[in-house]
């Protein structure tokens, strides 16, 4: 059973638009929520992460919004660029371990020029 | 350069022929993990290790073995591969400290079992 559910499975956005990917989790013990970005032929790489003591974290064009009561979090990519085309994975884990991540199913983002 | 390396990158084998995928990291990380990536399922953890000689099952350990005899190496062993183990495999490592849980992933090994 998937403990972290991610949607949509695929997303097509025009250059300059906003990309939004959503995730929902079940385990209330999760307290670390990272997003990973994966380009074809590469391993995933950490993009941005949040802990539940804040509701939003922004790094450049990337923002995580976190709703603890709803057990949901989302990634917003502002001013999306063709170079953002990749697969995005949300994940969750329980601290203090950095070794166990539970991933969502992934979203393939395509940003058209 | 700080990195996680995996070998081989591509492997085609037949059912039942034992194989090992190697993983090595040069960042002196305590934690290492193996994941498999399948379409529509994301990445699922196979095994993880919190330090030398300390390993534990992840979410999908059946059919796999691991060992952690040295801090830098964490090989994945398939004693008798089957077609349902055809997948893309990733090794990852992370440091056991504070609130920084960043996992660094290797480039992946694409395995096909015929």
Report residue A37 as tokens: 């970005």
The count of CB pairs under 8 A between chains A and B is 79
**DSSP code string of B8-49:** -SEEEE-TT--EEEEEEESS--SEEEEEEEETTTEEEEEEEE
Chain A partners within 8 Å of B100 (Cβ): 98
Q: Which residue has the tokens 């941005």?
A: A48
A 10 A CB-CB count for B62 gives: 8
Residue A3 φ/ψ, nearest 5 degrees: -80, -20
| C-alpha span between A10 and A108 (Å, rounded) | 5
Note whether A33 and A50 are within 8 A (CB).
Answer: yes
Would you call B108 and A41 a contact, using CB atoms and an 8 Å cutoff?
yes
Give the model confidence (pLDDT) of B1-47 as tens digits.
Answer: 889 999 999 999 999 999 999 999 999 999 999 999 999 899 999 99
Note whether A65 and A55 are within 8 A (CB).
Answer: yes
Give the model confidence (pLDDT) of B55-110 as tens digits.
Answer: 999 999 999 999 999 999 999 999 999 999 999 999 999 887 656 668 899 999 99
Chain B partners within 8 Å of A95 (Cβ): 99, 101
Residues of A with CB under 8 A from a CB of B: 2, 4, 6, 9, 32, 34, 36, 41-46, 49, 51, 89, 93, 95-106
Q: Name the nearest CA neighbour of A91 among B23, B59, B26.
A: B59
CA distances from A113 to A12, A81, A87, A96, A110 (A): 11, 8, 17, 42, 10
The pLDDT > 90 percentage for chain B reads 88
Would you call B99 and A95 a contact, using CB atoms and an 8 Å cutoff?
yes
| C-alpha span between A33 and A86 (Å, rounded) | 19
Please give chain A's pLDDT, 113 residues, in tens. 568 999 999 999 999 999 999 999 999 989 889 999 999 999 999 999 998 889 999 999 999 999 999 999 999 999 999 999 999 999 998 865 566 889 999 999 999 99
């Amino acid at each position: 059973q998937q403990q972290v559910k991610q949607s949509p499975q695929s997303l097509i956005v025009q250059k300059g638009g906003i990309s939004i990917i959503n995730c929902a989790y079940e385990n209330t013990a999760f307290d670390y929520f990272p997003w990973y970005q994966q380009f074809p032929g590469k391993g995933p790489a950490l993009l941005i992460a949040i802990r539940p003591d804040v509701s939003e974290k922004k790094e450049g064009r990337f923002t995580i919004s976190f709703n603890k009561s709803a057990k949901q979090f989302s990634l917003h990519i502002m001013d999306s660029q063709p170079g953002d085309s990749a697969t995005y994975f949300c994940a969750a884990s329980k601290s203090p371990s950095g070794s166990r991540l539970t991933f969502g199913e992934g979203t393939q983002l395509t940003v058209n020029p | 350069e700080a990195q996680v390396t995996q070998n081989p990158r591509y492997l085609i084998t037949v059912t039942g022929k034992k194989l090992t995928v190697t993983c090595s990291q040069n960042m002196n990380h305590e934690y290492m993990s193996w994941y498999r990536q399948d379409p529509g399922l994301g990445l699922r953890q196979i095994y993880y290790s919190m330090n030398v000689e300390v390993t534990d099952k992840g979410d999908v350990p059946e059919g796999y073995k691991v060992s952690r005899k040295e801090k830098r190496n964490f090989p994945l062993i398939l004693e008798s591969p089957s077609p349902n183990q055809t997948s893309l495999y990733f090794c990852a490592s992370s440091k056991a400290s504070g609130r920084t849980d960043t996992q660094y992933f290797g480039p992946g090994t694409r395995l096909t079992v015929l």
